[in-house]
């Protein structure tokens, strides 16, 4: 058999020689197993595969015909280029595209190019039809079936179900050539309108961002107005705040903030402003996937993770949710406040928080200081222990009146 050590050495040399290069372009990741186990369904596509991770999944092949129909529509949008030209363009992008995935993609080149072309044109057509309803024909099986468009939208927001955005933008720009002379919307324009449901110009901070893929785009849309570099560097250490119920009893008022940025939370003069948060069936899947991307790609700038860590410390019970619903902070489409409380508890489970750079550290510290001041603490004790029941409140008032009368009687006696 020969020298075993020589055999081991040769085996390792072969593996080293075939080891794929590590690229700085990597931005599409597998979901870590500890997070997947918490809720596997939140990360798996229901109807459509995008990219190589779910390529040829038997559960998803039914959408292949719709992809071909959308490709056919895309090809008809320009007389300047044909199918051969688009495939050659993608061939030129193939190496860079493969390096965007965290693991080596073993698909042969021709299969990879076909997959990218079908998936990219599917997304482009989806966004075009979402923005311009005149493009939707009577036989469109996505937009003419309300449940289909909801599930397809969910699927293209999954971290494992992505294409690099430079491919989508590149193909779109071939058909709708950007220039100062035309009024065509950019690819990021139609992406913003499709996801945000707003028929308005994309904010400049999003339009100028270095976007990697759809999940990255959504993360950028949700970022706070003031980023860490624009804030004071003190008080960055993480500390949990008291619950909504405890803060409310200490006199903190909760109001729905007016900011369009979900993460723009403010606390001033006893008032905690939190932009309105709509909780739907898709909330968990959407934010779980953004949080996975942050864990893998933006660990030191994890704004979304910090936001849900903050909410997780605020929300412990259905009563906490009830207070936030009544104040207009949470709009509950699940119908049950207990489900919402459970959602926030599970959403942060198994997620790693870099506490030394916590975005909401100052707000947490200020909230705890406000709730911990003697006057506010006594108000909380009185409210919790003596004013929870009308008879208890009457007893306290009676005791106070009797005390005042006794003092007056003593003072009068001295006179």
Is 408 in a helix, a strand, or coil?
helix
Q: Are 297 and 27 in contact (CB under 8 A)?
A: yes
Among the ranges given (77-81, 82-86, 131-135, 345-349), the one the predictor scored with the smallest mean pLDDT:
345-349
User: In Å, what is the CA distance from 326 to each residue of 82, 105, 220, 360?
Assistant: 57, 50, 29, 23
Interval 225-282: pLDDT, tens:
988 766 665 555 667 899 999 999 899 999 999 998 999 999 999 999 999 999 999 9
Tens of pLDDT, residue by residue over 172-189, are 999 987 654 445 799 999
How far, rounded to the nearest angstrom, does the alpha carbon of residue 8 sit from its chain's CA centroid? Answer: 46
Helices (H) then strands (E): counts for the chain: 18, 5
Mean pLDDT of 128-140: 91
* C-alpha angle 273-325-148 in degrees, rounded to nearest 5: 105
For residue 6, the model assigns a pLDDT of: 79
Q: In what order do the strands lie in the sheet with 271-275?
A: 253-257, 271-275, 266-268
**Spatial distance between the Cα atoms of 163 and 225, rounded to a whole number of angstroms:** 28
Residue range 193-219, pLDDT digits in tens: 999 998 889 999 999 999 999 999 999
Of residues 150 and 375, more confidently modeled: 150
Lowest average pLDDT, out of 32-36, 347-351, 393-397, goes to 393-397
Question: Among candidates 405, 382, 412, 407, which has minimal Cα distance to 395?
Answer: 382
Q: What is the pLDDT of residues 53-100, one digit of tens each?
A: 999 999 999 999 999 999 999 999 988 999 999 999 999 999 999 999
Q: What is the pLDDT of residue 182?
A: 46
* Predicted local distance difference test score (pLDDT) of residue 351: 82
Q: Work out the average pLDDT over 306-316.
A: 94
Structure tokens at 38: 């918490």
Exposure string over 194-210, b if 16+ CB within 10 A, otherwise e: bbeeeeeebeeebeebe
Domain boundaries, the chain: 18-222, 228-372, 375-414
Q: Minimum mean pLDDT among 2-6, 86-90, 173-177, 319-323: which range?
A: 2-6
Distance of alpha carbon 118 from alpha carbon 139, whole angstroms:
19
């Amino acid at each position: 058999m020969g020298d075993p050590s020589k055999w081991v050495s040769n085996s390792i040399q072969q593996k080293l020689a075939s080891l794929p290069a590590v690229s700085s372009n990597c931005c599409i990741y597998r979901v870590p197993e500890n997070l997947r186990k918490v809720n596997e369904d939140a990360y798996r596509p229901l109807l459509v595969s995008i990219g190589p991770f779910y390529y040829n999944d038997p559960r998803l092949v039914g959408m292949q015909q719709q992809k071909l129909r959308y490709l056919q529509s895309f090809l008809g949008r320009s007389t300047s280029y044909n199918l051969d030209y688009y495939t050659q363009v993608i061939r030129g992008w193939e190496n860079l595209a493969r390096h965007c995935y965290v693991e080596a993609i073993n698909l042969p080149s021709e299969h990879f190019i076909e997959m990218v072309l079908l998936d990219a044109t599917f997304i482009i057509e989806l966004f075009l039809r979402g923005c311009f309803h005149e493009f939707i024909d009577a036989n469109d099986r996505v937009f003419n079936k309300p449940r289909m468009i909801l599930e397809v939208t969910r699927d293209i927001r999954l971290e494992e179900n992505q294409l690099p955005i430079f491919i989508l933008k590149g193909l779109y720009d071939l058909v709708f050539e950007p220039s100062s002379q035309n009024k065509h919307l950019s690819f990021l324009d139609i992406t913003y309108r499709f996801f945000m449901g707003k028929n308005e110009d994309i904010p400049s901070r999003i339009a100028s961002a270095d976007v990697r893929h759809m999940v990255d785009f959504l993360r950028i849309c949700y970022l706070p107005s003031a980023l860490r570099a624009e804030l004071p560097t003190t008080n960055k250490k993480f500390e949990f705040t008291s619950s909504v119920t405890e803060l409310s009893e200490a006199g903190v008022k909760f109001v729905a903030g007016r900011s369009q940025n979900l993460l723009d939370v403010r606390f001033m003069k006893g008032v905690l402003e939190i932009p309105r948060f709509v909780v739907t069936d898709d909330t968990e899947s959407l934010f779980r996937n953004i949080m996975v991307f942050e864990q893998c790609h933006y660990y030191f700038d994890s704004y979304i993770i910090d936001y849900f860590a903050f909410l997780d410390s605020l929300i412990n019970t259905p009563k906490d949710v009830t207070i936030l619903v009544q104040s207009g902070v949470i709009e509950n489409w699940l119908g049950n406040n207990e489900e919402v409380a459970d959602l926030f508890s599970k959403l942060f489970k198994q997620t790693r928080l870099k506490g030394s750079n916590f975005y909401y550290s100052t707000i947490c510290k200020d909230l705890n200081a406000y709730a911990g001041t003697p006057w506010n603490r006594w108000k909380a004790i009185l409210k919790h222990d003596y004013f929870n029941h009308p008879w208890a409140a009457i007893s306290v008032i009676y005791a106070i009146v009797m005390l005042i009368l006794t003092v007056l009687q003593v003072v009068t006696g001295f006179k």
